[in-house]
Every structure is written in structure tokens, then in C-alpha cells.
Structure 1
Amino acid sequence: MIICADGLASIREAISTAFPNTEYQRCIVHQDRNTLKYVADKDRKEFSKDLKTIYNATNEEQGRKNRDYVTEKWSTKYPNAMKRWERDWDVITPIFKFSADVRKVIYTKKAIESLNATYRKLNRQRSVFSSSQALLKALYL
């Protein structure tokens, strides 16, 4: 099993305690966003394109080479931008164990965030559901 999550403090330990033998994958979308905070607006498009070469690499070795290239290319202009990629590499790399089709699903936690947003919206409109089945119908219809 694999769980894609943010880099919240102690999340990795909580996952390994609750679900032993589960792979923890850092959410790449959040990793990107956190990186781009350090980059000026005028450079974000090019920088973002370079970041994609890291997690779209065919394997971990190529991903590491691409990460090192991006770090070298941008380090003089944005010295702090790539520090998290180096520090968190071990929780970014599980993505390379999977096929391209699976990667598209696990590189972000957007699906669950979308479901949670829908639930919050429904809950604001109606805080009580007659049954769990009624809640599921409201969520998925």
C-alpha cells in the first residue's frame, strides 16, 4: 500500500504505526508549491518545467540527476528553492517504483482533497444525514 500525504510533522511515523509496511509518498504538488515560494514570478514557468523533469524521470537515478541539474542551474539565483528536494528525497522517490499510469494517481492527494471539499460543502448545507448511505449518495451524485 502507498499513502500520498503532505509533509506534516510526524506524518511518516503515524503512517508506519497505523499501517506497517506502507510506503509514504510526499505529495509532489505540495512539494512543487513549497519550492515555487522561493522563485520570482517571472521565473516560475521555467522553474516549474525544470521541476517536472525530476518527478517525470523514468527512474530514481535519472530523477536524482535531473534534481541535481535543476539545483545547479538555479542555485545562484534561488539558493533555498531546492533544499527540500534534497532533504526529502527519500519520501519523494517512492513514485519511481510505479508505472507512469500509477504515478499520475499517486503524485498528488488532489482526489481526496476534492472529496473533502465536497463533504464540507454538503455539511454546511445540511449537517445531519439520515444514514451513511444518504451521505454517500450526496457525495457522489
Structure 2
Amino acid sequence: MARKSSKPVHHVQMTDGKRQIIQQLLTEYDINSAEDIQEALKDLLGGTIKEMMEAEMDEHLGYEKSERSSNDDSRNGYKKKTVN
């Protein structure tokens, strides 16, 4: 007996604007396969994800990249440390 999913199904309304964007992506990235789609998404989202991760690290450490800090949690460059 098949189990019913408790998650609601998300229906996307396809608008003319969305169709145009998809057509532009297909043309720009010469998409012919699932692998082509993955590469296009990496190209489109890679920089954004990297920036989000760097902002999260800034928040976590309390200072920005390349900023000097007296904190032992240095994120850039080299700092001499002693291991006990």
C-alpha cells in the first residue's frame, strides 16, 4: 500500500517572464543535458554562496576578512602558534 506524502505539492506558475529567463539560460549556457544545468547553476550561484559563507564567518568571528584581531581564531594568513 502506497504511503501518502504529508508535504504539500508546490505548484509553479509559469509566466512569460520566467519562460524568457529560461530561454535565455538555455541559449547562454548551451544547455542540452542535466550536467549542463548543473554547471550553469554552479556558475550562477557559486559566487553568491561563497559570499554568504564569508558573511557567516564574519558574523561568527566578529570581524571581517583581512581585518586584524587580537582573537586567537585567525582566519587569514599565518600566525605563529604553540601547540601544547
- State the structure with more CA Rg: 2
TM-score by length of 1: 0.30
Greater RCO between the two (CA within 8 Å, min separation 6)?
1
TM-score by length of 2: 0.43
Higher strand share: 1
